[in-house]
Amino acid sequence: MRLTRAFLPTLKETPAEAQIVSHRLMLRAGLIRQTSAGIYAWLPAGWRVLQKVTQIVREEQNRAGAQEVLMPTIQSAELWRQSGRYEDYGKEMLRITDRHEREMLYGPTNEEMITDIFRSYATSYRDLPRNLYHIQWKFRDEVRPRFGVMRGREFLMKDGYSFDLTKEASEHSYRQMFLAYLRTFQRLGLKAVPMRADTGPIGGKLSHEFIILAETGESTVFYDTKFDEFDWAGTEVGYDDVEALNSFFEQVTSMYAATDEMHDEAAWAAVPAASQREGKGIEVGHIFHFGTKYSEPMGLSVAGPDGNTVVPQMGSYGIGVSRLVAALIEANHDENGIKWPDAVAPWKLSILNLKVGDAACDALCEKLHAAFPDDAVYDDRGERAGVKFADADLMGMPWQAIVGPRGAAAGKVELKRRATGEREELSLEDALAKLRA
């Protein structure tokens, strides 16, 4: 991607309306553009990151045995009347009337719709367990949308739903997602702590929020620093191993961690003072076990093994996919800009041609660009070096290949690692080998 042809609009000035660093950097690096309050267009760089985050979420869901579907954004009010949530949901729900005066809504979540779909097919206990998810835009008419995509009105969510024959089986499904979430956030390079949580309008008793510690977070959290020593990837627990998964879950949840709503002073006092950590956090995921809250009123039932009628047990599992992009920036930036982790960077490499028109510089840059046709941004603009350095640091690609006339004459490239600032002068071959490693 040549910068002279790209749509990567960076801003020099800090937008006044942006209060937190991720929002400022998302606007300045040209990732998003606000189109209405709390509603954003994703520009090329932002869209590439969002797709990478989505793909990691998807892979970990599939690995845990969930199956992807895609449900519509627009739902009928009738379904929500069946669960009793249509009136309860209040002003956060965007209600729409179609030309036939039918009441519709822009989905804030999909419990009703998935229950409706599943009840149309499930007839027997053999149809259980099942876990279905989708990655789809949601709309919640938040009173105070703020902090960019961190708390938007329209946002991308991964929402999954499990159906099980018994309460025990559904608790196993819950634990499968619990582990899948820890693995997902770890792959994204984020330390997310699971905390006992309030269930709000989704309902149920068993619920965990996954919170990333960050000063700009909206939730106050209390947790035991034992979490910092835990290696989720290191656990070899299999998703189908009921006992191992249960003891893993017991082990993790026995460590104290709670949001302020669920904070228990007595239990907190039992945590050694040196291990107590209190701070602000960003909720990037939330899982719920709510039994028959939707299946019962919506008439979902199957024939059990003894011919009896069974109402399936359900849970739902959300990840704020678009919010994760902002959370990733909160966790990976410095005063100059974003430091994208390799796994989600929009492009792997920025190529900085410090003297466009110099034959050796141009030739070397073209070779670098040709080596990464879809994974490099080539700054071929006739700008000063200072402008190029600033933009490359702002956009935050993990690698920068800096090509100046003196080095280029000797066939050398300077390779800079954005995250650490480490620099190394290398031959083209060695630079390519390093970038491919």
Binding site for ligand 5CA (CB under 6 A): 109, 111, 140, 142, 151-152, 155, 157, 159, 202, 283-286, 288, 316-318, 320, 322-323
The secondary structure of residue 14, as a DSSP letter, is: P
Q: Is the dihedral of CA 23, 396, 51, 27 positive or negative?
A: positive
Task: Tell me if residue 9 falls in helix, strand or coil.
Answer: coil
* Amino acid sitting at position 47: W
Beta carbon of residue 283, minimum distance to ligand 5CA (angstroms, whole number): 5
* Residue placing its CB nearer to ligand 5CA in the complex, 315 or 407: 315
Angle of helix 167-187 versus helix 242-253 axis, rounded to 10: 70
Residue 251: partners with Cβ closer than 8 Å, 6 or more residues away: none
d(CA 402, CA 420): 16
Beta carbon of residue 152, minimum distance to ligand 5CA (angstroms, whole number): 4
Beta carbon of residue 165, minimum distance to ligand 5CA (angstroms, whole number): 21
* Amino acid sitting at position 168: E
- Of the candidates 272, 332, 286, the one whose C-alpha atom is nearest the C-alpha of residue 192 is 286
* Residue placing its CB nearer to ligand 5CA in the complex, 178 or 347: 178
* Residue placing its CB nearer to ligand 5CA in the complex, 85 or 333: 85
* Residue placing its CB nearer to ligand 5CA in the complex, 200 or 299: 200
Beta carbon of residue 185, minimum distance to ligand 5CA (angstroms, whole number): 11
Beta carbon of residue 88, minimum distance to ligand 5CA (angstroms, whole number): 14
Do 129 and 173 contact (CB within 8 A), yes or no?
yes
d(CA 132, CA 120): 14
* Residue placing its CB nearer to ligand 5CA in the complex, 284 or 377: 284
* Residue placing its CB nearer to ligand 5CA in the complex, 259 or 353: 259
Burial code (b: 16+ CB inside 10 Å, e: under 16) for 97-129 equals eeeeeeeebbbbbbbbbbbbebbeebeebeebb
d(CA 51, CA 73): 19
Q: Is the dihedral of CA 42, 46, 52, 57 positive or negative?
A: negative
* Residue placing its CB nearer to ligand 5CA in the complex, 192 or 271: 192
d(CA 172, CA 196): 17
Beta carbon of residue 204, minimum distance to ligand 5CA (angstroms, whole number): 10
Beta carbon of residue 155, minimum distance to ligand 5CA (angstroms, whole number): 4
CB closest to ligand 5CA, residue no: 320
Beta carbon of residue 341, minimum distance to ligand 5CA (angstroms, whole number): 19
- Of the candidates 57, 58, 53, the one whose C-alpha atom is nearest the C-alpha of residue 340 is 53
Write down how long the chain is.
Answer: 437
* Residue placing its CB nearer to ligand 5CA in the complex, 222 or 288: 288
The secondary structure of residue 340, as a DSSP letter, is: -
* Residue placing its CB nearer to ligand 5CA in the complex, 316 or 400: 316
Phi, psi of 233 (to 5 degrees): -65, -30
Do 170 and 315 contact (CB within 8 A), yes or no?
yes
Strand order of the β-sheet with 412-417 is 376-379, 349-353, 399-403, 412-417, 423-427
Beta carbon of residue 108, minimum distance to ligand 5CA (angstroms, whole number): 7
* Residue placing its CB nearer to ligand 5CA in the complex, 94 or 385: 94
Residue 394: partners with Cβ closer than 8 Å, 6 or more residues away: 10, 25, 28, 29, 336, 337, 338
* Residue placing its CB nearer to ligand 5CA in the complex, 157 or 376: 157
Beta carbon of residue 324, minimum distance to ligand 5CA (angstroms, whole number): 7
* Residue placing its CB nearer to ligand 5CA in the complex, 142 or 362: 142
Beta carbon of residue 345, minimum distance to ligand 5CA (angstroms, whole number): 22
Beta carbon of residue 38, minimum distance to ligand 5CA (angstroms, whole number): 7
